[in-house]
Amino acid sequence: MPFAEHNKSKQKRKLIGGLAKRWLDVSAATLKPRSCQRRETAINQLAPFFRGVTVHNIRRREMENWVKAHHDSDRSARDFNITRDTLRMILDYAVDHGLLLDNPA
């Protein structure tokens, strides 16, 4: 299963599948609408780092690449923390559903 799948439209990119979409659909029931939007934004920021990688192939190296790229950007510490927490929750979901043995995040 891929981490995230998006539609092909360049004007409005929309999350349409993958593990992140499954997690967001389940989590949306307990999140306020704005929190759900923020988590989807975090997923969109994470998706390029996991493009072409199936969930069971996500390793520590991908985590390190993401941290390095985020550190080199001008994003805030708050943005980093929200995105990191979203990644942890998605990968915990993968562990709970037997897609990963442990959470590399």
CATH T-level fold of 5-96: DNA polymerase; domain 1 (1.10.150)
How much is the pLDDT for 67?
Answer: 86
Could you give the 3-state DSSP secondary structure of residue 53? coil
Q: Write out pLDDT tens, residues 4-22.
A: 887 776 667 777 788 889 9
How much is the pLDDT for 62?
Answer: 83
pTM: 0.86
Residue 2 near residue 19 (C-beta atoms within 8 A):
yes
Closest CA to 65 of 25, 104, 102: 104
Q: Write out pLDDT tens, residues 53-104.
A: 888 888 888 888 888 887 767 778 888 899 999 999 999 999 999 988 888 8
